[in-house]
Amino acid sequence: MFGIGMTELIVVLVIILIIFGANKLPEIGSGMGRAIKNFKKATTEPEEIEVSAQKKEATESKEASKES
């Protein structure tokens, strides 16, 4: 696992516990989970197309042709 052994993993987790405290860890975990979920969702969804901009351009071109 990326060259990280069990001892190194425990040391990192203890340091994180000391820095953030036990009360903040659930909030940090849920925030990380939401971030990962949103990232996966953003990479799998097709890009959205703004239809309103196209309709606006079509309406403006029709109005311009009527004025001519």
CA dihedral 57, 58, 64, 67 (to 10 degrees): -150
Q: What pTM value is reported for the model?
A: 0.46
Angle (CA) 8-13-15 rounded to 5° is 95
Confidence at residue 55, expressed as pLDDT on a 0 to 100 scale: 59
> 8-67: per-residue pLDDT in tens?
988 988 998 899 888 888 898 899 999 999 999 888 877 766 666 555 666 666 666 666
